[in-house]
Structure 1
Amino acid sequence: MPDVVAPAEIGQRLLLRTSLSVATLVLMFVVTSAPAQDVSPAIQSRIARVEQGLSSRVIVKGATGQKASIATRMAFHDVPAVSIALINDGHVEWTRSYGVLDTTGQRAATPASLFQAGSISKPVSALGALRLVEQGKLSLDAPANGQLSSWKIPENAFTRQSPVTLRGLLNHSAGINVHGFYGYAKGQRVPSLLQVLDGVAPANSEAVRVEARPGTGWKYSGGGYSVVQLMMTESGGKPFPELMQALVLGPLDMDDSTFAMTLPPAWQARAATGHDSNGTPLAGGWHVYPQSAAAALWSTPADLAKVVVDIQQAQSGKPGKVLSSAMTSTMLSRGLGEYGLGLYVEKLGAGSSFSHSGGTDGFRSQLYGYTHTGQGVVVMTNSDSGAALIDEILVSVAAEYGWPEFQIIEKAALAADPAANATYAGDYTLVGKPAQIIAEGDRLYLQSELFSKRPMQLFAESKTRFFMTAQDMTVEFQQAGSKRPGSFSLKRGNSTYVAMRAD
């Protein structure tokens, strides 16, 4: 199966050495992880086909495709644990967990194991905010500053043209900065929400400010959801974890979910340890995120599947446990950026798909659902390399359950141009982190720890545009009249990022 290919100079022995411990643990525990419920032989057969049907979404035309098992791909990607909840016909059809929660203690993953949900916190928080709107405690379209008391969004030339609103904040179209957050490792001082908003010590992120006219463009902003968090706690009159328990987690019977920054001891025993792309555990197990609405949710796939099912039911006109059908339709109505209020939304025939990914240090997750078929899936992992594995699981699920998306795509690759490749090679900065374009003979690679510590091969579609098979991403170099490009754009899903040359 075409996938991440390391340059020869890195050496196959290094790849084997870095993945051996995870591979061994995965193979030890992947079969013994307990299912959450008994299923019929027919469903068990479907599960088995999903487990054996993993494939990268993009393959090179003419290359021999080969399906792989979930255990094999977990070991390859250095993902110690993965947990899945599959939704079919409007209910959770099965849950399964594989691997280990940490590579040192070797605790086997189960469907009750807890994972950090990362940015999947945003749609769950959006449900809570919209419920406060339905309760008359918040307004979607009134100026946000009129709904804040302890802190105000600093006014500037952009806000004087158009005010920031809750609708814009939930849609990422309020012109707010701060894409995401780094979190705080064990032993580090954790700032208050107000310190985060003003970017003052001990906050490790910049101040949350308006950098574009609200309502005129889409830009993903965890900073905007921190403003939402303050609006919610002030209007709801409770700390955010307690408020979300009352608004969303309690009504949906999400008994294995919490926004608490400190997990109770019994929950810590069930919590997965985060791992980097090499399978190395994070010091302290995980980072803490005071930016609760944006990133702090701990959950299980089975609990998050309840969010998917409730949205599906409310959208179909049945009573929802959190929102009315009308407000659910508002949530799933696209604003700017192929995004509704807290969810990515894609129109598909008679209905829509809705989704959100999540990533904190050491964790990657994905929530996906369809309004018109009652289908969906939630996948959670405890590795920075989890996104690539999740993509392969989605391809297998889609093939087994007849989804309209995540089909395997064959792309034709042009003949390599070593001379051109040499001009692209160099050091870049991508989303504030180092990235490399590596030219080796007639092959070109992207190395970015945002996606994988292993270099990912680039295949030419044109002189400047390349695709990958390791993950469904494309890279396009900007020549700007120079023989040595100064930047490239990377497109992954609904997002495009620009990398600037650093050498």
Structure 2
Amino acid sequence: MSRMRPLRLAAVLAFPLLLTAAAPVEPTTQWLARPSEAARITRVESGLPPLQIPGEAPRTLSLQEWMALYKIPGVSIAVFDKGALVWAKAYGVREAGGSAPVTLETLFQAASISKPVTALAAMHHAEKRKWSLDADINDNLVSWKVPQNAFTQEQKVTLRRLLSHSAGTTVHGFAGYAAGAPVPTTRQVLDGEAPANSSPVRVDTVPGTLTRYSGGGTTIVQQMLVDQLQKPFPRIMRDTVLAPLGLKNSTYEQPLPKALESLAAVGTLSDGTSVEGRWHTYPELGAAGLWTTPSDLARIALEVSKASNGKSRRIVSPAMAKQMLTRQSEAFGIGFMRREGKAWFGHGGSNAGYRATLIAFAESGSGIAVMTNGEEGSRLIDRILVSAGAEYGWKDIEAQDESPGGTVDLLVRAKGAEAAIAWYKAQKAATPEAANLSPAILNDVAYSLLRSKKLDDALKVFEANVAFYPDDSNAHDSLGEGYAEAGRKKEAIHHYKKSLELNPKNDNAVKQLKVLGDGGRDLH
């Protein structure tokens, strides 16, 4: 989970914010447990960490101004404290350029926060059916089996290891499927068969020896639950978790049912445009398929907290809840993130066009859920977490240094491409071998500009990247794409050839040279 980092920009840069969009939409819905919470909401909103520019006074932006800067149409927040939901509030609109406001019932894709909720259901049935958490998962898989290999000879893939990301399974995450695209079955996803757009889920390290995030592993658990319970996965989740907790605004159904589409926030790319077709479909339901609201996520976290304190057993027993919140691997309990030395449990989520975070403190029954329909939502979520943590006295939520990638992105948005390039050049000159500087930083920003139809600025950044990293094949490949987009064919061919010279295995360069009609002529 990312953390907010205060900005450290070059002192020579002025910073006139380019917030020229329409006036931000004021929040239209909120719920308060008691009137006194209104003042706390105001303090959370006004306590967002400011822009900290060396040589200048810190600049405070409102939540709505941060939304405008990062092109996030809608935000929804729910806060719980001392074992109860205490307030929820929604901001902005459901769709970029639209007027329908986000409400407390607006559905967002929870993305990877789906995983700990899936784990909660798996642990419920493990207790009920007396499944061993440490037996070979193939004992409970019927319609598909984890392929055996040299890595699984001595150590097995188990339910505990799959849900703590230590089973040695591959496939970090999933891209989803655009509207109208064919959607694979779970077994096609697991085997990487068409129309799946991800690699096969396989074991490539000895189970139990390495913590490595694997959405593929959670998809194996999804298949196991379906095999054992003989029900569609969305129904399993509804019957096991969602309905018992009274979560009326949550579903694992993918594609989203037509009846719920009018309640859903539309995914938004980093350039502020809507995801084509409004959102992607994720057949990897257990790993990424939950549609929900912050208030429903808060209720899930509250249930886990109560169970771990011996005050509930609606889904799992207190003993199982404690096990879920105990670190099983380097960074995870069962389903939930559990960082060493940190009091919180939770998870983050990142689907195409959506970002979300759930943070909770089991002992106090406190925490926060924030959901956005913007790919830059994490940058605002981090600030909200810091402010809420300060207001409610939560430990272990603190600001950290801004990453170079975050600084470059912010500079491009607020001041322009040339300012971002100048800042990066100064950083690279000061520390040429800095590990946190890489060609990927400028490359990502350039592609964002390209998607935003800011071709001239995109080319400036692509060109700077090649100047900084003349021996990087991908930098040349990307510049070739930029030149091709601009109709500068000769220059595009030159840089695709240079990319291929640096990396003879660059199939994309070969393909693009054929598209450009080059027959292997040397343009030097």
**Structure 1 residue matching 2:295: 3-state secondary structure:** helix
Could you tell me whether the CA contact under 8 Å between 1:132 and 1:236 is conserved in 2?
Answer: no
For residues 205-228 of structure 1, give each alpha carbon's deviation from its aligned partner in whole angstroms, at most 9, with x where no partner exists. 000000100000100000000100
1:320-339 matches, cutoff 5 A: 320-339=313-332
2:273 is equivalent to residue 280 of structure 1: yes
Alignment of 1:337-376 (within 5 A): 337-346=330-339, 352-376=343-367
Determine whether 1:153 maps to 2:146. Answer: yes
Q: Distance in 1 between matches of 2:161 and 2:473?
A: 33
Matches within 5 A, 1:6-405: 16=18, 20-21=20-21, 24=22, 27=24, 29-31=25-27, 33-35=28-30, 37-55=31-49, 64-136=57-129, 138-346=131-339, 352-405=343-396
SS of the counterpart of 2:268?
A: coil
SS in 1 for 2:357: strand
CA distance in 1, matches of 2:55, 2:316: 49
Partners of 2:436 and 2:398 in 1: how far apart?
33
**Contact 1:54–1:70 (CA under 8 A) maintained in structure 2:** yes
Shift of 1:104: 3.5
* Equivalent AA in structure 2 for residue 54 of structure 1: L
Q: Tell me the CA shift for residue 406 of structure 1.
A: 2.1
**1:436 paired to 2:441:** yes
Distance 1:347 1:422 in 2: 32
Q: CA deviation at 1:348?
A: 5.6
Deviation readout 1:231-285 (Å, 9 max, x if unpaired): 1111112110001111111111111000000323331101000000111001111
Cα distance in 1 for partners of 2:428, 2:305 equals 50
Secondary structure of the structure 1 residue equivalent to 2:338: strand
**Is the CA contact 2:6–2:401 (under 8 Å) kept in the aligned structure 1?**
no
CA-CA distance at 1:20 after TM superposition = 4.3
Map of 1:478 onto structure 2: none
Report the CA distance shift for 1:85/1:449 in structure 2 as closer, same or farther (over 3 A): farther
TM normalised by structure 2 equals 0.76
SS at match of 1:74: helix
Aligned position for 1:419: 429
CA–CA separation in structure 2 for the residues paired with 1:449 and 1:327: 46
State how far apart, in whole Å, the 2-side matches of 1:483 and 1:105 are. 43
Deviations 1:140-168 (A, max 9, x none): 11101111111111110001121110110
Q: CA deviation at 1:30?
A: 2.2
CA distance in structure 2 between the aligned counterparts of 1:34 and 1:417, rounded to whole angstroms: 44
Find the counterpart in structure 2 of residue 495 from structure 1.
none
Question: Quick check: 2:90–2:104 contact (8 Å CA) kept in 1?
Answer: yes
| Contact 1:447/1:453 (8 A) holds in 2 | no
1:250 partner letter:
A
- Offset at 1:229? 0.3
1:483 CA drift (Å): 12
> What letter corresponds to residue 30 of structure 1 in structure 2?
E
Would you tell me which structure has more strand in proportion to its own residues? 1
Q: Is the 1:424–1:437 contact (alpha carbons within 8 Å) kept by the matching residues of 2?
A: no
CA contact (8 A) 1:137 1:236 kept: no
Contact kept, 8 Å, 2:8 with 2:54, in 1: the verdict is: no
**C-alpha distance in 1, partners of 2:471/2:183?**
43
**C-alpha separation between the residues in 1 aligned to 2:131 and 2:153?**
22
Aligned to 1:436, the other structure's residue is in SS state: helix
Distance 1:193 1:166 in 2: 18
- SS of the residue 2:86 aligns to: strand
Q: Is the 8 A contact 1:2 1:60 kept in 2?
A: no
1:62 to 1:312, Cα distance in 2 relative to 1, 3 A = farther
Distance of 1:388 and 1:377 partners within structure 2: 16
Query: What is the rounded CA distance, in whole Å, between the counterparts of 1:448 and 1:229 in structure 2?
Result: 38
Q: Aligned residue for 1:432?
A: none
CA offsets, 1:355-398, max 9 Å, x none? Answer: 10001000000000001111100000001000000001001101
SS at match of 1:113: coil
Q: CA deviation at 1:421?
A: 5.4
In the alignment, structure 2 segments of 5+ residues that lack a partner are: 405-424, 453-468, 475-501, 507-524
Classify 1:38/1:404 alpha carbon distance in 2 versus 1 (closer, same or farther; 3 Å). Answer: closer
User: Which amino acid counterpart does residue 396 of structure 1 have in structure 2?
Assistant: S
Is this contact kept in 2: 1:86–1:95, CA < 8 A?
Answer: yes
1:400 is paired with a residue whose SS is: helix
> How far is 1:51 from its partner?
1.2
Offset at 1:419? 3.3
CA contact (8 A) 2:73 2:92 kept: yes
Q: Secondary structure at the match of 1:364?
A: strand
SS at match of 2:144: coil
- Where in structure 1 are there 5+ consecutive unaligned residues? 430-434, 439-445, 455-481, 488-500
Corresponding letter in the other structure for 1:131: H
Q: Deviations over 1:72-94 (max 9, x none)?
A: 11111111100000011111000
The RMSD of aligned alpha carbons is 3.6
CA distance in 1, matches of 2:470, 2:447: 27
Contact 1:51/1:69 (CA < 8 Å) preserved in 2? yes
Provide the rounded CA distance (Å) in 2 between the counterparts of 1:278 and 1:437.
15
For 2:371, what is the secondary structure of its paired residue? Answer: strand
Preserved contact between residue 141 and residue 167 of structure 1 (Cα < 8 Å) = yes
Contact 1:240 1:292 in 2 (8 A): yes
CA distance in 1, matches of 2:126, 2:78: 30
Residues 54-107 of structure 1, C-alpha deviations (whole Å, 9 max, x = no match): 116x96788643443211111111111000000111110000000001023321
% of aligned pairs identical?
A: 41
SS of the residue aligned with 2:43? helix
Shift of the 370–485 alpha-carbon distance from structure 1 to 2, 3 Å rule, reads farther
Q: Deviations over 1:426-470 (max 9, x none)?
A: 9968xxxxx2348xxxxxxx84879x999xxxxxxxxxxxxxxxx
Q: Distance in 2 between matches of 1:190 and 1:328?
A: 35
Residue 478 (structure 2) aligns with: none
Structure 1's 155 and 418: CA in aligned 2 closer, same or farther, altered over 3 A?
Answer: closer
Per-residue deviation, 1:484: 8.1
